[in-house]
Amino acid sequence: MFTIPNVVFANDITRLPKITLTEICTDLNLDNGGSAYELAQRVWEHIRDGQNSENVLEKSKNKLLVGQASLTWFRLESRESLRGSRELVIENAGFNPFEQVKLPLKEQLTTEPVLIAGANGEYVCEYYLRFMYKNGVKKEYYGNEMNISPISEITTVYVNEDLGIIEVRADSKKAEKVASAFVRILRKEITLEQIITPFDQPIDDIADKLNGELIDTVSKPELLLADISADEAKVVVDILASLNEYFNTKDITVVETCLKKADELFDEQTIAVPFTALILGGMERVGLGGERELRGLPLYDCFNPYLDHQSGFIRFSFPDGGVEKPYTVRVGLKSKSIYFNTPANESVVEFVRNRVILV
- pLDDT digit string, tens, across residues 64-112: 999 899 999 999 888 888 999 999 999 999 999 999 999 999 889 999 9
**Residues 215-226, mean pLDDT to the nearest whole number:** 75
pTM of the model: 0.86
Q: How confident is the model at residue 277 (pLDDT cuts 50, 70, 90)?
A: low
Q: Are 68 and 345 spatial neighbours (Cβ–Cβ below 8 Å)?
A: no
**Three-state SS for 32?**
coil
Percent of the chain with pLDDT over 70: 90
Q: How confident is the model at residue 262 (pLDDT cuts 50, 70, 90)?
A: confident
Report pLDDT for 320. 85
Listed in sequence order, the residues at least 6 apart from 55 whose beta carbon sits closer than 8 Å to its beta carbon are none
Structure-model confidence comparison of residues 62 and 282, the more confident one: 62
Query: From the DSSP assignment, how many helices (H) and strands (E) are in the chain?
Result: 13, 11
Listed in sequence order, the residues at least 6 apart from 22 whose beta carbon sits closer than 8 Å to its beta carbon are 32, 39
pLDDT tens for 309-354 read: 899 999 999 998 789 999 999 999 999 999 999 999 999 999 999 9
Displacement of CA 213 from its chain's centroid (Å) = 17
Q: How confident is the model at residue 232 (pLDDT cuts 50, 70, 90)?
A: low
pLDDT of 223 above 70: no
- The C-alpha atoms of residue 56 and residue 160 are separated, in whole angstroms, by 27
Report pLDDT for 278. 61
From the list 125, 294, 130, the residue with the least C-alpha distance to 203 is 294
Report pLDDT for 246. 80
Mean pLDDT, the chain, as a whole number? 88
**Angle (deg, nearest 10), helices 253-265 and 230-249:** 170
Whole-number Cα distances in Å, 33 to 20, 39, 356: 13, 7, 39
Q: How confident is the model at residue 274 (pLDDT cuts 50, 70, 90)?
A: low
pLDDT of 192 above 70: yes
Q: How confident is the model at residue 40 (pLDDT cuts 50, 70, 90)?
A: very high
pLDDT of 282 above 70: no
Residue 289 bridge partners (DSSP): 216
pLDDT of 21 above 70: yes
Whole-number Cα distances in Å, 10 to 76, 97, 132, 275, 276: 33, 18, 13, 56, 52
**Three-state SS for 116?**
strand
Buried b (16+ CB within 10 A) or exposed e, 259-284: eebbeeebeeeeeeeeebbbbbbbee
10 Å Cβ neighbour count for 86? 20
Whole-number Cα distances in Å, 213 to 41, 152, 199, 289, 317: 37, 36, 17, 11, 10
- The C-alpha atoms of residue 312 and residue 284 are separated, in whole angstroms, by 17
Report pLDDT for 115. 98
Structure-model confidence comparison of residues 224 and 117, the more confident one: 117
10 Å Cβ neighbour count for 251? 11
- Residue type for position 314: I
Q: Among 28-37, 46-55, 106-115, where is mean pLDDT lowest?
A: 46-55
Percent of the chain with pLDDT over 90: 58
Report pLDDT for 312. 94
